[in-house]
Amino acid sequence: VGFELWQVTAGTLFDDIIITDDEFEAMDFATETFYSRRDHEKEMQKESEALQEEKQNQAMADKFKQQMVDSGAAEKIMAEAKARQEAAEAAEAAGEAHEEL
């Protein structure tokens, strides 16, 4: 028996190969190998995909933050926030001065 495998990427691994004429032996082998690991492997795949998505989202957020800094938008936003804060403080001070009169 021989296998000739053509693959695009080196490093492919194979496991759980059985050659038999006995259908029951094949089912036992599948139960002990494939079916026993299938749910665990699906869960690992979901976790891996979630982690990859989280990394992509973080990379996009980091890129956005850097673009904000590079464009000067961050400084503009901070200046506007500071102006609003100062205006609110001035209005509050004016209200307190009015109450004292």
Q: Assess whether pLDDT exceeds 70 at residue 11.
A: yes
Provide the pLDDT confidence category of residue 2 given band limits of 50, 70 and 90: confident
pLDDT in tens, 29-47: 999 888 888 888 899 999 9
DSSP 8-state symbol, 65? H
Extract the tokens encoding 91. 């209005």
Cα torsion 83, 84, 85, 86: sign: positive
- What does the angle CA 29 – CA 16 – CA 51 come to, to the nearest 5 degrees? 115
Extract the tokens encoding 93. 């001070």
Provide the pLDDT confidence category of residue 73 given band limits of 50, 70 and 90: confident
Cα–Cα dist 73/64, whole Å: 11
Smallest CA-to-CA distance from 46 within 58, 54, 36, 35 is with 54
